Amino acid sequence: MISHGKDIKVFTGNSNPALAKAICERLYKELGNSEVKGFADGEVSVSLYEPVRGSDVFIVQSTCKPVNDSLMELLIMIDACRRASAGRITAVVPYFGYARQDRKAKARDPISAKLVANLITAAGADRVLTMDLHANQIQGFFDIPLDNLAGNPIFVDYFTEKFGDECLEMVAVSPDVGSVARTRAFAQKLHMGLAIVDKRRLRPNESEVMNIIGDIKGKKCILFDDMIDTAGSLCGAAAALAENGASEIYACASHGVLSKDATTKIENSVIKETVVLDTIPLPAGYTGSKIKQLSVATMFAEAIKRIYNEDSISSLF
């Protein structure tokens, strides 16, 4: 029995309209008619060109670069839908920005992830749908329901098709201690071995690889993480694997943030292929060959249908 909203309506901001359109195609729905633009002074302006009264509204907006503009677009779109009497509003945030600021690492640090959670709630969202939060405890920052989808199954399907039974002889590698749990879950599904890169971070976005824990000599390795930002840590870990005897090195991550010259670093690295999801668009003008993008549209479309019909999300996994 459907208990929220007379119909589904999907709108998008400017951060990832291609993903929103792909989700609508799988829902057999037209993307909502709206416009998000800016005034001369940089303020965000939102216009909805169709009624949403009583509808189950889903706003697709990754809070990726430019992060603050993307976040404000999301907040103002939520407010516009709330004031237009939407039946329920779900913020669909495939990539949740500020997620790395989830704790006080030193005195007088803000906890920006909690602040962003408060802003989304205060704007009028009834629930949040996201993917692979950098830290699971962020789910507790929200006072509204949050569904955190896992990109793991998409990667499992991809590498199963790519390597088949050869996966049994490969090794999944965690690029740091913090990613061990997610890498172990990935390795178990593909029956791979597990290795860990032990590194010491010298300063933000810079790290020094110290040691490889696990047997990777002569084996194909897959570096597994939740995001790739400047790619310094990733390429450093890949170089350490190659120096320690890995035969081939692949990498995958849910969120390809790819800041600064990350794509150039990856193209010039020993990594044979890097696979990311389309939670964030690839940098404009990227023409390299080492970065492959897989779509999350089918998974998000299915999650949206289940939210609308009040069905279980966890059974997706």
Percent residues over pLDDT 90 in the chain: 87
pLDDT at 28: 95
CA distances (Å), 199 to each of 60, 175, 194, 240, in order?
36, 8, 16, 10
CB atoms within 10 A of CB 1: 4
Q: Is the peptide bond preceding residue 110 cis, with omega within 30 degrees of 0?
A: no
pTM of the model: 0.93
Mean pLDDT, to the nearest integer, of 189-194? 95
Quick: pLDDT tens for 24-40.
Answer: 999 999 999 999 999 99
Q: Is 283 exposed, middle or buried (0-12, 13-18, 19+ CB in 10 A)?
A: middle
Q: Name the more confident of 206 and 301.
A: 301
- 3-state SS assignment for residue 247: coil
Distance CA 172, CA 216 (A): 9
pLDDT at 178: 83
Residue 4: pLDDT above 70?
A: no
Q: Which amino acid is at 262?
A: A
- 3-state SS assignment for residue 13: coil
Mean pLDDT, to the nearest integer, of 169-185? 92
Confidence of residue 205 (pLDDT cuts 50, 70, 90): low
Confidence of residue 207 (pLDDT cuts 50, 70, 90): low
Distance CA 225, CA 231 (A): 11
Quick: pLDDT tens for 223-248.
Answer: 999 999 999 889 999 999 999 999 99
Distance CA 215, CA 196 (A): 10
Distance CA 16, CA 73 (A): 12
Confidence of residue 47 (pLDDT cuts 50, 70, 90): very high
CA distances (Å), 215 to each of 86, 159, 172, in order?
55, 20, 11
- 3-state SS assignment for residue 199: strand
CA distances (Å), 269 to each of 255, 272, 309, in order?
19, 8, 46
Q: What are phi and psi of 258, to 5 degrees?
A: 50, 60
The Cβ-side half-sphere exposure at 17, using a 13 Å CA radius, reads 10
Quick: pLDDT tens for 209-228.
Answer: 668 999 999 999 999 999 99
* Contact present, 119 and 242 (Cβ < 8 Å): no
Alpha helix stretches (DSSP H) within the chain: 17-27, 67-83, 112-123, 152-163, 180-190, 232-243, 262-267, 297-308
Active-site annotation, residues: 199
Distance CA 260, CA 269 (A): 16
pLDDT at 314: 87
Crossing angle of helices 67-83/112-123, nearest 10°? 30
Tell me the β-bridge partners of 277.
255, 294
DSSP for 220-239, written as a single string:
EEEEEEEEESSSHHHHHHHH
pLDDT at 1: 38
* Contact present, 170 and 199 (Cβ < 8 Å): no
Q: Which residues contact 152 (CB under 8 A, 6 or more apart)?
A: 182, 185, 186, 189, 317
CA neighbor of 20 nearest in space, from 61, 65, 79, 78: 61
Confidence of residue 79 (pLDDT cuts 50, 70, 90): very high
pLDDT at 2: 45
